[in-house]
Structure formats: structure tokens, C-alpha cells
Structure 1
Amino acid sequence: MKSAHPKKQRIAQQRPTFMYLLDLVLIAWIIEAVDQFFLAGQLDRFGIHPRQAFGLLGIPIMPWLHGGFGHLSSNTVPFLTLGYIMLKSEGRRFYYSSAIIILLGGLGTWLIGGTGEVHIGASGLIYGYFGYVMTRAIIESKPLWLITGILVAVFYGSMIFGVLPQGQIPVSWEGHLTGMLAGIWLGRRHKGLSSE
């Protein structure tokens, strides 16, 4: 049996880098620019529609759609910072782990979201990263995780209030809550695992 080409093996074994996160952010900004300048925000209707069959299509699409540049800007920095911590801790599992958070958080949003609502934005994924990082920081017995958890709590601890209903403010607290729960579940599953 012939072995795979050495160059292809190296590519397959490469760990994702910070540039990967920047590429994802760039994609989100390009999509939002196209939506705002050419489609008058029409892409937003492809988000998650709770308990509608059509709304299930929004689960993998939700993180890439935003309600304007302000919404996207507010998600960019926490995505890069928490995403980088997640990337360093998960290594090549980062792709799989992010997909699991998107799937579980999106499905949870679809189940508990309000009727007639459309849920968009990367905040569900960001809350998933937050839940994952804080869970690992609490249950791991390693100083690095403890320090990381303290820093994340200092800079992003107020995110916890985002999982509560926001009254008339159009914020997807359901996406925040289910995304964070997905991250907590994943963090517990990956207790003790080193990055690959």
C-alpha cells in the first residue's frame, strides 16, 4: 500500500493558528459587507427560526450573519481572544469542537427561542468558547488553566448576564445560554486532554 504524499501528510497534521481565526473573521466581515451594501440585510432571514423546519438551516449559518457592522464589531474581539484560547487548548480538535458548539448551541436555540424570532450572530459560539474555557479552568488542576480562567473572568465575566432574558432588547439570550451550556459540556468532556 502506498503511503500518502509527505506534503499532504504535513498539511493534514498542521495545527490551526491565529491566522485561521483571522480568516474566519474576514469571512464574516465580507459576508456582512455584501449583505449591507448589496442585499439590504436580506441574508439575516437565513438565521435560526425556532421550531420551524426551515429554521434548522440557520444552525450552521447563524455565526456568519450579523445585524450590522456594530453587531459584528462587538463580536470580533471576544471571538479572537476566546477563540485563540480555545484553539491553543484544543489544537487540531478546534475545528471539531467549534462545530459541536455551533450544532448543540444552535439546536438549543432552535428549541427554546421565541416564536417568530430570527437568531443571528457569532455570540452563541463565543459563549460556547467562554463556557469551555471557564469549565476547564475550574476543573483542571493546572496553574496555567487557573491563571487563564482568572484573566477570562476579569475581562469577560460580565458575559454571564447575557444568558438572562433582556426584556425588550433584541439580544439572543437563548443563543448565549445554549452556546455556553454546549461549551460547558465540551469542557467537561475534554477534562485532562492536552492539545493535539
Structure 2
Amino acid sequence: MTHTDLAWTRTDRARAAAGLMLGWVALLWVLEAVDAASGHSLDAYGIVARDPAELSDIVPAAFSHFGFAHVAANSVPLLIFGFLAALGGIRRFLAVIALIVVVDGLGIWLVAPSNTNTAGASGVVFGLFGYLLVRGFVDRKPFDIGVGLVIGALWGSTILLGIAPTNTSVSWQGHLFGLVAGIAAAFVFRRRADRAALTP
């Protein structure tokens, strides 16, 4: 593989990551517009704790929001964190997202207060933060370590506030389980050193 081929590969990855995340965020806004136009019918896809029927809403809940302000609050960090995470490969990224969504949703279902309805992409946002924070150390890649340190410095205080049990204005349970799932995903889907060494 030549230097030019490598440059094109990086460019293609960046384009694919940007396209994926722009499409994802656009989808969230479209869904919220549909929700508003339908009298907030999509709010029913949130997760109500410990109701067996609500297990089927674990995935849809990550795409549902309670108003445009809710979507707006998640859009920028989701776009940034998602883009940075997807640069490592789309397939790996999708596997990371799947793990975060499922673990976060199950955590909400198990420990959220009774009769509460939880939805939104913030669990994914916190999960991607945790994933990016430790991915570089797990993969032993200096660039990714730098990325983790930068986002930790910029968003670390916000993340800590979001997982504080005293912060009853948000689903701190969803934030906490998302963060834990993201950190776990960095280990589950880590790149093998021997596999990287065989790449031409």
C-alpha cells in the first residue's frame, strides 16, 4: 500500500464517518418532527422501568426524544463523538453502538425509578465518550490516546455532572450505564496488535 493509497483510505473513512453521523442526527430531527406533528405519539417508545413489554423499546428509545430542545442537546456531542469513533471503521463503530444501546437500555429498564419513561440519545453520547476516552489506551494508538485526552478535558466535567445521582433533572441511570457500556466496548472490540501488524 502506497502513501497515496493510505491517504485515500483515510479520506474515505472520514467521508463515510461524516456521512453516517450527519444522516443519524438528521434522522433524530425528522423523528422528532414526526413526533411533534403526531401529538408526541413516539414518546411511547421510551423505556418504562421493569415492565416486560418495554424490553422491545430498548432500541427505539435511543432514537426518541421529548421535544426539540432534547434533540438539540444531544445532536452536537453525538455528531462529534460519533464521527471520531467511526473513523476507526464503520463495522467496529456499529458493533460499539449496538453494545451501548442494549446495555444502556437494559440498565435503564432495571434501575430507573418506577413509572418513569426514559428516551433519548444521551446514553449513546455518554457511551461514545467512555469509548473514546479509553480506546487509545486499549489499542495502544497514540493518536487515539490524544483524542481521548482532549475530549476528556473538554467534556469531562459535563459527563461527571450527568452521572451524578443528585442530578434528578436527567436520567443519570441512562448516562451511567451508557458510560460503562462504552468503556466496556473499547475492550470488547479492541484491535488485536497481531492483526494490525499483518495489515499490508
1:54 Cα offset (Å): 1.9
Gaps (5+ residues) in structure 1? 1-13
Distance 1:137 1:61 in 2: 30
Distance 2:156 2:61 in 1: 24
Whether contact under 8 Å (1:47, 1:57) holds in the other structure is no
Whether contact under 8 Å (2:100, 2:178) holds in the other structure is yes
TM-score when normalising by structure 1? 0.84
1:184 Cα offset (Å): 0.8
1:126 Cα offset (Å): 0.8
Gaps (5+ residues) in structure 2? 1-11
| Counterpart for residue 119 of structure 2 | 120
- Of stretches 80-89 and 139-148 in structure 1, the one that deviates more from structure 2 is 139-148
| Counterpart for residue 93 of structure 1 | 92
Whether contact under 8 Å (2:47, 2:118) holds in the other structure is yes
Whether contact under 8 Å (1:101, 1:183) holds in the other structure is yes
Alignment of 1:23-42 (within 5 A): 23-36=23-36, 38-42=37-41
1:140 Cα offset (Å): 4.2
Question: Alignment identity in percent?
Answer: 33
Distance 2:47 2:141 in 1: 38
| Counterpart for residue 6 of structure 1 | none
Whether contact under 8 Å (2:96, 2:189) holds in the other structure is no
Matched pairs, number:
180
| Counterpart for residue 51 of structure 1 | 50
Cα RMSD of the aligned pairs, angstroms, is 1.9
Distance 1:154 1:167 in 2: 21
1:22 aligns with 2:10: no
Distance 1:167 1:85 in 2: 28
Amino acid at match of 2:30: I
Please state whether the residue corresponding to 1:81 is helix, strand or coil. helix
| Counterpart for residue 10 of structure 1 | none
Indicate how the Cα distance of structure 1 residues 167 and 25 shifts in structure 2: closer, same or farther if over 3 A, else same. Answer: closer
Amino acid at match of 1:64: F
| Counterpart for residue 135 of structure 1 | 134
Distance 1:191 1:43 in 2: 35
| Counterpart for residue 175 of structure 1 | 174
Distance 1:90 1:51 in 2: 35
Amino acid at match of 1:125: V
